[in-house]
Amino acid sequence: MAKTAFDIVDKVCHAAREADRESKDPMVEMLSMFSGLKGERGEPRFKLEDTQQDLFKLLRRPWFQRKWVFQEAVLAPESTVYCGAETRPLPSILEAGHSLHRHRAWCHTREEFLMIRDLHLLWSYFSPETNNELPVDSRTLLALLAFLRTKCSTDPKDAVFSVLGLIKRNEQTNDSFQALFKADYRRPLRDILASATKYAIIETETLDVLRFVQPKLNEDAETSQIPSWVPRWHLRHEDIDMGVNRMGPNGEFVSGAKLELIDPHDVAVLKCRGEIIDDICYRFDAPGKDVVKDASALAAFFKNMRSLFRRDILSQVFESTAIDDAQATRIRNAILPNRMYSVDEESAVISSTLMMGRQYPMQEYRGDETDDLIRLESYLNEPGLVLPALPEDEVIPTSTFKDRSPGEQAFVRFTMIMRLALHHRALFTTSRGLIGIGPSTMEVCDIITMLHGFSLPVVLRPKGDGYEFLESCYVHGLMEGRDGWPAGVVTKEEIISIR
């Protein structure tokens, strides 16, 4: 296979070489520089600004975005890139991307940021030197499917079939592999994707695969037939989350409650134990990124965020009966003595909800979220404020604003959150007063649930005799393990069927 992979890469790179001749081999200088990557104590010696644009020219080539390049070249024992008279091992290019990422030199367009991120992850997750230290075994089906979501294929079924030969199988799961997989292109796409997802669950002994379920928007007839708990592996995605499919030092999975999978080989339903937390009673969509161009619109958004503290079921009754805030507080405390959050926590809850546990690729951000929120709200109240113009659709290095006022710095950081983390998101509160952020497809009366074997809360929609899976979500107070849940959280364990 190594020779076959080498031959394929040789042919394609030969075509790339022919195409580059017209432009006088723009990659030659870059590849020459890559040959001297290692400097003192492992630090790279090449000048980052001299190599980045040439690197992007290579990465933009259509053949570099295809699944077969990953399966035949990146994971092959030996792969060489030919460029003019120069030849370089493919791993040197991957290491260059990793170095650019490590030195925070990817402050360009979103497209370029994603390219460097891909090279960094390729080097990190598929390099023999690093794999044993990672939380993910890169040769599990889950890791391979997760990474290949960023690549293209002509046949959507190749999203699964193209990686079957790369999986490192073990004796415990081999019977399940044989039961679920038949590399038969006559099988419906929904069965192929569901089989892969069920095997990924069996393989990792967690529901970690659910983190790859994305908002179901504008689906075609074929895709809409896929079970709600199955990621759309055949669609191309920008975002990679490799997940956590290894056990911790104490032998327990990070989810806190071990998965009990019922009917493991049934690809029509995901059935397991879980706990119903609460139902959604109020929600509003996160604003579009244009809100950061209008100070009054942005201030109105923060006002809506603070209103989440007064949007549980009882508070809405108080509003409709014209009870003032002081009376409402006394009545509410008498009926529900265990509030989810104290009034003193309001700023902390709102800011951490917006940050979603910092699940976004922002560089050089070490600030306190609560302080940032207060600075930003104060900044927005300045009379006659005109918000600073920011570059469109780019990753903004906050270091470039380090000489600006604290309010402007907080504004830049929030802008990056809007661009990178709040797409298709909605803010919500539950009947008992939990506050969170989840998919924009959620509706009032959907329920927040913790599934055994999964570390994040999820949004489910009652449907027939079971549920539809929407997406995982962030709920303030539920993210750090059950011991840290607010005192007012009441759970009900049951067997949950998701179709």
pLDDT digits (tens, 9 = 90+) for 476-495: 999 877 788 888 888 888 99
CA distances from 267 to 30, 36, 145, 181, 212 (A): 48, 50, 17, 11, 17
Q: What is the pTM of this model?
A: 0.77
| 51 belongs to a structural domain | yes
Predicted local confidence at residue 463, as pLDDT = 93
Predicted local confidence at residue 446, as pLDDT = 98
- pLDDT of 253 higher than 50: no
- pLDDT of 191 higher than 60: yes
Predicted local confidence at residue 134, as pLDDT = 66
- Same domain, yes or no, for 369 and 340? yes
Q: Give the list of residues 6+ apart from residue 254 with CB closer than 8 angstroms, or none.
A: 206, 244, 248, 455
Rounded Cα gap, residues 305 and 310, in angstroms: 10
Taking a C-beta distance cutoff of 8 angstroms, is the pair 434, 278 a contact?
yes
| 327 belongs to a structural domain | yes
Owning domain of residue 485: 256-286+423-499
- Same domain, yes or no, for 204 and 113? no
**Three-state SS across the chain?**
CHHHHHHHHHHHHHHHHHHHHCCCCCHHHHHHHHCCCCCHHHCCCCCHHHHHHHHHHHHCCHHHHEHHHHHHHHCCCCCEEEECCEEEEHHHHHHHHHHHHHCCCCCCEHHHHHHHHHHHHHHHHHCCCCHHHCCCCCCCHHHHHHHHCCCECCCCCHHHHCCHHHCCCCHHHHHHHHHHCCCCCCCCHHHHHHHHHHHHHHHHCCCHHHHHCCCCCCCCCCHHHCCCCCCCCCCCCCCCCCCCCCCCCCCCCCCCCCCCEECCCCCCCEEEEEEEEEEEEEEEECCCHHHHHCHHHHHHHHHHHHHHHHCCHHHHHHHHCCCCHHHHHHHHHHHCCCCCCCHHHHHHHHHHHHHHHHCCCCCCCCCCHHHHHHHHHHHHCCCCCCCCCCCCCECCCHHHHCCCCHHHHHHHHHHHHHHHCCCCEEEEEECCCCEEEEECCCCCCCEEEEECCCCCCEEEEEECCEEEEEEECEECCCCCCHHHCCCCCCCEEEEEEEC
- Same domain, yes or no, for 20 and 114? yes
Rounded Cα gap, residues 128 and 131, in angstroms: 6
Taking a C-beta distance cutoff of 8 angstroms, is the pair 224, 256 a contact?
no
Per-residue pLDDT band for 323 (boundaries 50, 70, 90) equals confident
Characterize 68-86 residue by residue with b for buried, 16 or more Cβ atoms within 10 angstroms of its Cβ, and e for exposed. bbbbbbbbbeebbbbbeeb
- Indicate the residue among 421, 440, 462 that finishes a domain: 421
- Indicate the residue among 215, 246, 277 that finishes a domain: 246
203, two tokens = 């393989």
Report which of residues 279 and 254 the model is more confident about. 279
Least confident of 32-41, 133-142, 165-174, 307-316: 32-41
Report which of residues 103 and 16 the model is more confident about. 103
Nearest to 118, CA basis, from 162, 74, 68: 74
- Same domain, yes or no, for 15 and 117? yes
CA angle, 29 as apex, 26 and 33 as ends, to 5°? 140
| 434 belongs to a structural domain | yes
The packing angle between helices 141-148 and 110-126, to 10°, is 160
Rounded Cα gap, residues 143 and 165, in angstroms: 14
- Please tell me the total count of domains within the chain: 4
- Same domain, yes or no, for 411 and 458? no
Nearest to 75, CA basis, from 123, 141, 130: 123
Per-residue pLDDT band for 32 (boundaries 50, 70, 90) equals very low
246, two tokens = 């290894």
- Indicate the residue among 246, 267, 301 that finishes a domain: 246
- Same domain, yes or no, for 297 and 379? yes
Could you give the percent of the chain with pLDDT greater than 70? 70
| 177 belongs to a structural domain | yes
Taking a C-beta distance cutoff of 8 angstroms, is the pair 71, 158 a contact?
no
- Ranked by mean pLDDT, the top range of 241-255, 289-303, 350-364, 411-425 is 289-303
- Same domain, yes or no, for 432 and 414? no
Per-residue pLDDT band for 475 (boundaries 50, 70, 90) equals very high
- Same domain, yes or no, for 118 and 212? no
198, two tokens = 């069920």
- Same domain, yes or no, for 417 and 429? no
- Same domain, yes or no, for 416 and 433? no
- pLDDT of 8 higher than 70: no
| 383 belongs to a structural domain | yes
- Same domain, yes or no, for 173 and 190? yes
Q: Give the list of residues 6+ apart from residue 10 with CB closer than 8 angstroms, or none.
A: 80, 82
| 6 belongs to a structural domain | yes
pLDDT digits (tens, 9 = 90+) for 439-463: 999 999 999 999 999 988 999 999 9
Nearest to 117, CA basis, from 261, 218, 252, 241: 241
Largest CA distance in the chain: 81
**Can you say how many angstroms the Cα of residue 60 is from the centroid of all Cα atoms in its chain?**
23
| 121 belongs to a structural domain | yes
Report which of residues 413 and 312 the model is more confident about. 413
Least confident of 58-72, 101-115, 301-315, 412-426: 101-115
Nearest to 58, CA basis, from 100, 79, 28: 28
- Same domain, yes or no, for 127 and 166? no
| 251 belongs to a structural domain | no
**Beta bridge partner(s), residue 498:** 270, 467
